[in-house]
């Protein structure tokens, strides 16, 4: 598991359990890889169940943040995933005249992973506000053009995106 950031720093909500990245995440399995990353052309996140994250980040400068360097996450490395729940959302492209194309393109906006260690890891594409006292995230909403929330052992409530 490796996280990526487009900036040289990332938001630490709680050093032991919550972070926000703007690049993406890549999870390598024995013979496959799953990645969600910022895709500059579409100005939003995209995913692949076959390719590494560099297909999204391309030639842009990005910074890998090894999961084993993040307290709490490091114990998940090599641990078996016992359950995975995926929440999907979609977007629609526009044609040359600015009309919405009917085809819906689906993307996972949340992965909730449970490990054999009984730890949970919530990965979600969100927009949010920051509250000061106590410091934390508020007004969380799924957003494919937002940022990547990582929450360890605390599943945060996130509002659905409304499609019009």
pLDDT digits (tens, 9 = 90+) for 109-128: 999 999 999 999 999 999 99
Residues, the chain: 164
Say how far apart CA 65 and CA 19 lie, in whole Å. Answer: 11
Predicted TM-score (pTM) of the model is 0.90
- Whether the pLDDT of residue 163 is over 70: the answer is no
pLDDT digits (tens, 9 = 90+) for 39-96: 887 788 999 999 888 888 878 888 888 777 787 888 888 889 999 999 999 888 888 9
Say how far apart CA 93 and CA 100 lie, in whole Å. Answer: 6
Phi-psi region of 153 (alpha: psi -120 to 50; beta: other; left: phi over 0): left
Residue 2 in contact with residue 64, Cβ under 8 Å? yes
């Amino acid at each position: 598991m490796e996280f990526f950031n487009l900036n040289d720093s990332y938001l630490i909500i709680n050093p032991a359990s919550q972070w926000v990245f703007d690049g993406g995440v890549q999870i390598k399995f024995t013979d496959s890889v799953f990645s969600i990353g910022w895709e500059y052309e579409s100005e939003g996140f995209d995913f692949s169940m076959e390719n590494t994250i560099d297909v999204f980040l391309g030639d842009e400068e990005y910074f890998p943040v090894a999961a084993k360097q993040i307290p709490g996450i490091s114990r998940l490395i090599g641990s078996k995933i016992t359950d995975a729940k995926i929440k999907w959302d979609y977007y629609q492209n526009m044609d040359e005249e600015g009309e919405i194309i009917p085809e819906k393109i689906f993307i996972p906006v949340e992965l909730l992973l449970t490990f054999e260690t009984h730890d949970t890891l919530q990965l979600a594409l969100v927009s949010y506000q920051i509250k000061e006292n106590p410091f934390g995230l508020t007004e969380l909403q799924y957003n494919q053009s937002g940022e990547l929330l990582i929450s360890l052992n605390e599943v945060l409530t996130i509002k659905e995106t409304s499609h019009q």
